[in-house]
Structure 1
Amino acid sequence: MLRVTLEQWRMFRAVVQYGGFNQAAASIHKSQSSIHNAVSKIENSLNVKLFQVEGRTTHLTEAGKLMLRRANFLLDEAAKLEIVGQSLGQGTETSLRIAVDEMFPPALLYQVLEQVSSQYPLLQVELVESVLSGASELISNADVDLAISPLAFTEGFCEQLCTIEFLAVANPNHALHALGRKLTEQDLKSHRQLVVRDSALTNRSDSGWLGANQRWTVSHLRTSIDMICNGLGFAWLPVSAIQEKLTAGTLKPLPLQHNSKRTMQLYLVFKDEDSLGPAGHSFIHELRNRCNHSD
């Protein structure tokens, strides 16, 4: 059995917060005697001195400062616990698992997540970054609740979300740029291509032009971008992921005769809309809204 109640800890904190017993009583609508009794109960029960009165001023003792830090944590956690209980009573999920293909614009994703988190501050978000069929596999295995995938989903809900534009690029000092003319596929075959590995564990797929005689395969888009910037090869990369580097001149589009630009469709997929809670539906709404306004 606890010797001190949450209400007594709240009154103790109010004395500190409002600068004295009289001020605390007026601010939290309690009698002054109730405030004094609560503080005395804490001190007597725990055999600790919380306040030192000097004239008309009340100061925390060193022990009081330590107890205040602990009381703040206790009261804050109690408040959060009530919010969780209310959310559960309203059917709000406590976590949301989302798989997102790495080609999806990060800035757009962050805006959506920030908006959803502002509506559901206690929501735990688990973000899984995937490549190609990785997101669809996670949905199929019920490892995530929602996914943004380049592959259409046949087992549940699937809608077109946005189109991602790709450019063939290389470092401005790369040998392909030094040719000083329009490039053919034969030109590309003589140079190293960087590709990103499908993150699925089974039934992996390849995507894009893979005709280079020498090819390096990496696990993350960021690694591919870094290698291209360092002159280690060429690749088709999402424009949204390299726009700053194109503007800065760190990367330069390859002057291909054909197909210098490519596009890929991204889909919003999930198995069952009815299984999603309010936070999941809010994520979908914000995602659709942001993608529509970014076109």
Structure 2
Amino acid sequence: MQDPTSKRLKATLEQWRILQAVVDHGGYSKAAEALNKSQSSLNHAVTKLQHQMGVALLEVKGRKAYLTNAGEVMLRRSRLLTQSAFELEQLADNLCQGWEPEITLYAEIIYPRERLYRALQAFLPQSRGSRIKLLDSVITGTSDAIIKKQADIVITGQLPKGYLGQPLINVHLVPCISPLHPLSQQSTVDVKELMQELQVVIKDTAITPNESLGWLKSEQRLTVSNFHEAVSLVSQGIGFAWFPKHFVASQLKQKQLQMLPLKQGKSRTSMTHLVVPDETRIGPGASTFVNCLLAEHNLESDAFYDSNKEPIA
């Protein structure tokens, strides 16, 4: 395949833009007015374009010019070309203003995803083409993302020592089993009994996990990468697991799962926080996304960051 950079282009973006204007405005006269150019210059540009391409793009019938079949195909492709060029120039302008080409977000898996998705929906029309890298994280892995400044924005359930964050929402974690599990027949379950059972756990995303965090007292463990896998296993009667209550609400309602009747510690609560690991380097794109997340929780944007990139003191 020939390298496209080794061959000189036959036509210019301006010629394609003129062709589009002639078609969109229904002729050379109105297109000339819209582009603030003379009608003869537009006619010359389109004639030259057809000659350069070696393809008839327009055909004249009476006093009007109509697209040929080939012209229709070329016009559609040219719109993609000019739109891409416009977006490229817009990206350059955004970068000059400090707008990030990519925003990295780490989100602890216990955080309700429907809230995150609504914040994303609100942000995308304002994103100016910035790519979003959304990564799930678990416990120590989330803390690492903050400490090692691996992300622009982090939603964490565990604030590392020395860091502050904006509280978002309390997440209630409940121990669950299947109605098929032998423990489901007991009226109460002692923690010592639970320690003898198989626990399904979610793999910590850190390279060096901190096993002092969370409830990991069972000797028998089955480790999976996400809550969806854990729900599938536990609903089949394989072990027990701690789940965010919002995540298993439908399974509990449909009696595919049931909460363990523990004598003590029937649930755990974790407050999720919004953290910007490096406040001195937050860009306008990340700042805008932060404000969308705060709005999702009915928090004022100036409770954390303003929309002009600077962190509030």
For 1:28-67, what aligned pairs fall within 5 Å after superposition?
28-55=35-62, 58-67=65-74
In structure 2, the partner of 1:210 is: 216
Q: Contact 1:198/1:206 (CA < 8 Å) preserved in 2? A: no
Question: Aligned partners of 1:205, 1:285: CA distance in 2, in Å?
Answer: 33
Q: CA deviation at 1:55?
A: 4.5
Match of 2:13 among 2, 6, 16: 6
- SS of equivalent to 2:207: coil
User: C-alpha deviations, 1:202-258, integer Å up to 9, x for none?
Assistant: 243343333334321112222112212232221110012222322333222222222
- Stretches of structure 1 lacking an aligned partner (at least 5 in a row): none
2:99 maps to 1:92:
yes
In structure 2, the partner of 1:136 is: 143
For 1:50-199, what aligned pairs fall within 5 Å after superposition?
50-55=57-62, 58-154=65-161, 157-179=164-186, 181-199=187-205
Q: CA deviation at 1:101?
A: 0.9
Question: Aligned partners of 2:157, 2:243: CA distance in 1, in Å?
Answer: 14
- SS of equivalent to 1:70: helix
In structure 2, the partner of 1:257 is: 263
Distance change >3 Å, CA 230–CA 292, structure 1 → 2: farther
Q: Contact 1:101/1:129 (CA < 8 Å) preserved in 2? A: yes
Q: Contact 2:151/2:277 (CA < 8 Å) preserved in 1? A: no
Q: What is the number of residues matched between the two proteins?
A: 292
For 1:229-248, what aligned pairs fall within 5 Å after superposition?
229-248=235-254
State the identity as a percent: 33
Distance change >3 Å, CA 50–CA 262, structure 1 → 2: same
Distance change >3 Å, CA 195–CA 19, structure 1 → 2: same
What amino acid does structure 1 have at the position aligned with 2:205? S
Question: Aligned partners of 2:195, 2:111: CA distance in 1, in Å?
Answer: 28
Q: Contact 2:91/2:128 (CA < 8 Å) preserved in 1? A: no
Q: What is the TM-score normalised by the length of structure 2?
A: 0.83
Q: CA deviation at 1:40?
A: 0.5
Question: Aligned partners of 1:292, 1:169: CA distance in 2, in Å?
Answer: 31
Kindly report the root-mean-square deviation, in angstroms, between the aligned alpha carbons of the 2 structures.
2.5
Distance change >3 Å, CA 15–CA 245, structure 1 → 2: farther
Question: Aligned partners of 1:16, 1:184: CA distance in 2, in Å?
Answer: 77
Q: CA deviation at 1:137?
A: 1.3
Q: CA deviation at 1:157?
A: 4.6
Q: What is the TM-score normalised by the length of structure 1?
A: 0.87
Question: Aligned partners of 1:241, 1:113: CA distance in 2, in Å?
Answer: 19
What amino acid does structure 2 have at the position aligned with 1:139? I
Match of 1:222 among 219, 222, 228: 228
In structure 1, the partner of 2:285 is: 279
Distance change >3 Å, CA 6–CA 229, structure 1 → 2: same
Question: Aligned partners of 1:101, 1:94: CA distance in 2, in Å?
Answer: 23
Q: CA deviation at 1:65?
A: 3.0
Question: Aligned partners of 2:254, 2:296: CA distance in 1, in Å?
Answer: 26
What amino acid does structure 2 have at the position aligned with 1:66? V
